[in-house]
Amino acid sequence: MTTVMVAFLLLIGYFLTFNYFNSIAEAENASLMRLNGIVYTLAMQIDGDAHQRMMTKNPGQDAITTSKQDSDYLAIHQVLQRSFQANMLSTPIYTIVLDSNKTCYFGVTSSERPYFRHPYHSAPKLLMERYTEGAMIPRYQDEFGTWLSAFSAIRNSQGEMVALVQADQNIEEFMAHARADILRNLLISLLIAAVFMLLLVRILQPILRKEHQIKEALSVANAENKSINTQLQISLTQITELDNFRREMIANLSHDLRTPMTTIQGYLETVIQKKSQLSTPEQEKFLHVALSESNRLNRLVSDLFDLSKLESGQIIIQSEPFNIAELAQDTLQKYQLQAEAKHVKLLTDFSETLPLAFADLRLIDRVLQNLMDNALRYVHEGGFVMFTVFEKANLLHFKVCNSSDPIPESYLDRVFDRYFTSSNRKKDSTGLGLTVVKKIVELHGERVWAESNDAVTTFRFTLPCYPTAAPAM
C-alpha cells in the first residue's frame, strides 16, 4: 500500500512539474504573439510624418513635459493610450528613435507623464540588431525585471522608417499565474490521494482480517486486490491521457487561432480608424488581406478539427477497393484553374496495369488534396506538378513532385510535424496539412516521407494493393 501511494505521489509530482514548465512556455509564446500583434497594428495606425515632425520640433530632453503640449505628440499618445487600455497592458507602450550615434531615445508614451527623449540605456540587444525590421524579443532581463517585448517600424508617407513602437510585458505576471495553477492542482491531487488511500484501506481491511483466519481466503483476497489495483491504474492512465489531450488541444487552438485573428483585427481597425486617410485601392488591399486571413482561419479550424478526430481515435478506417489513378486524375481536375493561374503544368505518370488500392477512399482523397495544396503553394511559377503511381513489392507507391526550392535534408523528417516552421514557410499555410496526411497514411499502416533535390521536391506514400483471388487450378 505504501509503495502504491509513493508511486501515485511521484506520478502527481511528475505531471505537475511537466504542466508547470509547459504552461510557462505556452504563456510566453502566446504573450509574444499578442505583443507582436499589438505593435504591428500600432505601427500601421501611427502617423509617421507627425512623429518625425514632432521629434524635429523638439530636439531637447524633456522638451515635452505634458501630453497636451504638442498636438502631434497628443495625437500619437491617444493612439497608444487606446491600445494600452483595450489590451489591458500593465506596462506603458512607447515609441523609440535611434540617433546617428546608435543611442536609443524615448519618444511618445501611453503614460500620462512623458519621458521625452530620455535615453533608453537598457535597450535589448535584439532591438539594436533588428531596429529596422521589427521583431519579438524573448525573455530578457534589465534593472527593472524580466520582460517579453515586441517592436515594429513606424514609417512616414515616403515609406522611410522614422521610429519604432514597442510594447512590453513583465514575465512575473503569468509566472505568478502558473504558480497559482500548480498550487491549486497540487491541493486537488493531494485530496484525491487522500480519498484514494481511504478507499484502498477500506478495500484491504476485510482482506487483512481474513488473512489470520484461512490461507485460502488470503489467496483469493490477494487476487482481488491485484485486480482492483490494475483497474485503478488503468483508470488513472486514461484520465491522465484525456486531461493531457484536452490541455494540449486548448493550448494549440489558442496558439494557432491567435495569429490570423490578430492580423484580421489589425487590418480592419486600420481601415475603420484611418478610412479618410486611405485611398480606395489601399482600403481594398487591406480588406483583401483580412479576407485572406479569414479564409486561412477557416482552413485552420477545419484542419484542427480533422486532426483532433484523427489523434483521438474517432475515425475508423473503412477500406474498399478503388482505382488510385482515377482518384488522382479527379484531384488534378479540381486544381486545373488554380494551376493555370500560376502557369503550372499538371502531369501524370501511371502504369496501365496498376492494381486497385485497398484503403479508405474518402481519407485518401483528403491526402491527395492536401499534397496538391502543398505542391501548388510552393511550386515555381511556370513550373510543374506531377502525380506518379507504380506498384512495387505488392504495394502502391504514390509520388507528388513539384519544381520548387529544395528542402534542406535536415528538415525532411520534420516537415510532417504539427508545428514545424522554416524560413520558406508560406504565410497562407496552416502548417497542419502535412500532419493530417501523415496521420491518415499511418492509420492505414503505411508510411509517408519527403525527398528533395536542387530542382524538385517529392512527397511519397504507400498504400496496400487490393488482394486478388488466386486462379483456379
The C-alpha atoms of residue 436 and residue 309 are separated, in whole angstroms, by: 10
What does the pLDDT read at residue 253? Answer: 59
Residue 369 CB-half CA count within 13 A: 13
What does the pLDDT read at residue 239? Answer: 81
What does the pLDDT read at residue 460? Answer: 94
Three-state SS annotation for the chain = CHHHHHHHHHHHHHHHHHHHHHHHHHHHHHHHHHHHHHHHHHHHHCCHHHHHHHHHHCCCCCCCCCCCCCHHHHHHHHHHHHHHHHCCCCCCCEEEEECCCCCEEEEEECCCCCCCCCECCCCCHHHHHCCCCCEEEEEEEECCEEEEEEEEEEECCCCCEEEEEEEEEECHHHHHHHHHHHHHHHHHHHHHHHHHHHHHHHHHHHHHHHHCCCHHHHHHHHHHHHHHHHHHHHHHHHHHHHHHHHHHHHHHHHHHHHHHHHHHHHHHHHHHHCHHHCCHHHHHHHHHHHHHHHHHHHHHHHHHHHHHHHHCCCCCCCCEEECHHHHHHHHHHHCHHHHHHCCCEEEEEECCCCCCEEECHHHHHHHHHHHHHHHHHHCCCCCEEEEEEEEECCEEEEEEEEECCCCCHHHCCCCCCCCCCCCCCCCCCCCCHHHHHHHHHHHCCCCEEEEECCCEEEEEEEEEECCCCCCCC
The C-alpha atoms of residue 447 and residue 469 are separated, in whole angstroms, by: 26
Q: Which three cell numbers stand for residue 298?
A: 477557416
The C-alpha atoms of residue 443 and residue 440 are separated, in whole angstroms, by: 5
Name which of 395, 422, 413, 426 is nearest 452 in CA terms.
413
The C-alpha atoms of residue 151 and residue 137 are separated, in whole angstroms, by: 8
Phi, psi of 219 (to 5 degrees): -60, -45
Domains located in the chain, CATH noted:
19-174 (3.30.450.20), 320-464 (3.30.565.10)
Strand ordering across the sheet containing 456-464: 345-350, 384-392, 395-403, 456-464, 448-452
Q: Which three cell numbers stand for residue 332?
A: 488534378
What does the pLDDT read at residue 327? Answer: 93
Q: Give the predicted TM-score (pTM) of the model.
A: 0.42
> Going residue by residue through the chain (473 aa), what tens digit of pLDDT does each one get?
566 566 666 776 666 677 667 777 777 888 889 999 999 999 999 999 999 999 999 999 999 999 999 999 999 999 999 999 999 888 899 999 988 788 899 999 999 999 999 998 888 888 888 888 889 998 888 878 888 999 999 999 998 999 999 999 888 766 776 677 667 777 787 787 777 777 776 776 777 677 667 777 677 878 888 888 888 888 788 788 766 755 665 666 566 677 677 878 888 888 888 888 888 888 888 888 778 778 767 767 777 777 777 777 777 889 999 999 999 999 999 899 889 989 999 999 998 789 999 999 999 998 998 999 889 988 999 999 999 999 998 899 999 999 988 888 888 888 888 666 554 555 445 567 888 899 999 999 999 999 998 889 999 999 999 886 444 43
What does the pLDDT read at residue 212? Answer: 66
The C-alpha atoms of residue 143 and residue 146 are separated, in whole angstroms, by: 9
Opening angle at CA 96, ends 59 and 255, nearest 5: 165
**332 touches 286 (CB < 8 A):** no
**292 touches 428 (CB < 8 A):** yes
Q: At what angle do helices 172-211 and 215-273 cross, to 10 degrees?
A: 160
Q: Which three cell numbers stand for residue 118?
A: 530620455
What does the pLDDT read at residue 427? Answer: 47
Q: Strand 395-403 relative to strand 448-452: parallel, antiparallel, unpaired?
A: unpaired
Question: What are residue 348's DSSP bridge partners?
Answer: 387
- Between the alpha carbon of residue 18 and those of residues 24, 95, 174, 348, the distances in Å are 10, 38, 16, 49
**228 touches 203 (CB < 8 A):** yes
What does the pLDDT read at residue 203? Answer: 78
